[in-house]
Amino acid sequence: MNEIRPFRIEIPQADIDDLRRRLTTVRWPAEVAGTGWERGVPLPYLKELAEYWRDGFDWRAREAELNAYPQFVTAVDGQDLHFLHVRSANPEATPLLLVHGWPSSVVEFLDLIPLLTDDYHLVVPSLPGFGFSPLSGPGWGNLFRVAGAIAEVMSRLGYDRFAAQGGDVGAGVVGMLAMLHPDRVIGTHVNGPAPYPFGPPVELDGLSDAERLRAERFNAFREDGIGYLVQQATRPQTLAYGLADSPVEQLAWIAEKFREWTDPAAELPEDAVGRDRLLTNVSIYWFTGSGATAAHILYEGMQAYRQFMAGAGEHQQDDAEPPALPPGAVAVFAADTSVRHLVDPMGTVVRWTEYDRGGHFAALEVPDLLAADVKEFFAGRR
């Protein structure tokens, strides 16, 4: 029942051939002359990227790179969970979870793993509905449930206590782990937490220059960059047909976010993240069909968050002292929209660091900065 099974990524050649066929017979849309990224991914850019995906990208090489790390699958509460488990040669190493977000996968950490294995035993799960953790049914958008399942994985691996790091959805999972198991979590490290996207705009009065810039970026995102989330949070099944049937739709859906959320100094996604890294991530979404299931996860996650916040409001008058949480750290990168008093209203974050490089996909964009920040925070907390 608690079996941990070895796993290797082995995409059938027929699936690779089918991808190339679909990329050859694309029915391209028209584009309004004189427009650019403000209306979505420009047609010339996506055509060229799709052609490289078809003719220049080597999936088998990227598959081998992923398979160089030990991988496993175990079932928790009826849900298969895939994960990388990279043990350090250091007998004093600390177990460390690395939890990806959307639109990402375990690929996010490929350049970070070698920078951390001197000090950490790394466990890198694919979230339910993402990558090689195919969705078993409804309810896995509830991050408390996801956190509980990942804690069970850590128990099966023999890790009674562990550290945790994540961004985006992964940051939410890390936060829930700390709430569910404060006695087991040594500390939490998250990157780029943002205000609630469906909430009000951020007030600019009283902010520092750096915070004002991030708040203005958030307010702009809330006004004209939130369409993807509205669609996934309200009608994921309608979106799912395009993501499951068209690799170009899946490519555009993800490439747009890599352009909008990466370092502002990067003009194109591949200026911030290597093109092969980007396409490895997109390929996993395509081959596993997880563009569609991830949309359902985000739908359920938004429903669960509303219920959680409603319950928190009902209990605001409770006199009970909240449980003590493990120490937490936040790393903020150049493209982030983090405003401290909004994401840390109680002042519980013990380390808050801001960088002038990187963005939403910090582990891919600036693994050197993220690795150093993680090491500095967890030093002495083993």
Handedness of CA 99, 104, 107, 108 (dihedral sign): negative
Residue 26 inside a domain? The answer is no
Return d(Cα 54, Cα 49) in angstroms, integer: 9
Residue 237 inside a domain? The answer is yes
8 A C-beta contact, residue 165 and residue 95: no
HSE on the CB side for 201, CA within 13 Å? 12
Residue pLDDT tens, the chain, 382 long: 689 999 999 999 999 999 999 999 999 999 999 899 999 999 999 999 999 999 999 999 999 999 999 999 999 999 999 999 999 999 899 999 999 999 999 999 999 999 999 999 999 999 999 999 999 999 999 999 999 999 999 999 999 999 999 999 999 999 999 999 999 999 999 999 998 888 899 999 999 999 999 999 999 999 999 999 999 999 999 999 999 999 999 999 999 999 999 999 999 999 999 999 999 999 999 999 999 999 999 999 888 777 766 665 555 555 566 678 999 999 999 999 999 999 999 889 999 999 999 999 999 999 999 999 999 999 987 7
Amino acid letter for position 45: Y
HSE on the CB side for 67, CA within 13 Å? 12
Residue 318 inside a domain? The answer is no
Angle between helices 275-288 and 13-24 (to 10 degrees): 110
Rg for the chain, CA atoms, rounded: 20
pLDDT tens, position by position, 132-150: 999 999 999 999 999 999 9
Q: Both tokens of residue 45?
A: 């850019």
pTM of the model: 0.95
Residue 30 inside a domain? The answer is no
CB neighbours of residue 37 within 10 Å: 13
DSSP state at residue 126: P
- The CATH number assigned to the domain holding 163 equals 3.40.50.1820
Distances (CA, A) of 180 to 172, 177, 313, 324, 335: 12, 5, 19, 11, 30
Angle between helices 13-24 and 43-55 (to 10 degrees): 150
Return d(Cα 200, Cα 197) in angstroms, integer: 8
Residue 28 inside a domain? The answer is no
Which helix (H) or strand (E) is 189 found in, with range? strand 185-191
323 phi and psi, to 5 degrees?
A: -65, 150
Domain holding 99, by residue range, is 4-21+39-312+325-378
Burial of 186 (0-12, 13-18, 19+ CB in 10 A): middle
Residue 84 inside a domain? The answer is yes
Amino acid letter for position 290: S
CB neighbours of residue 371 within 10 Å: 20
Residue 308 inside a domain? The answer is yes
Edge to edge, the sheet with strand 71-76 lists 4-7, 71-76, 79-86, 120-125, 94-99, 162-167, 185-191, 328-332, 349-354
Structural domain count of the chain: 1
Q: Given the structure tokens 């990067």, which residue do they identify?
A: 266
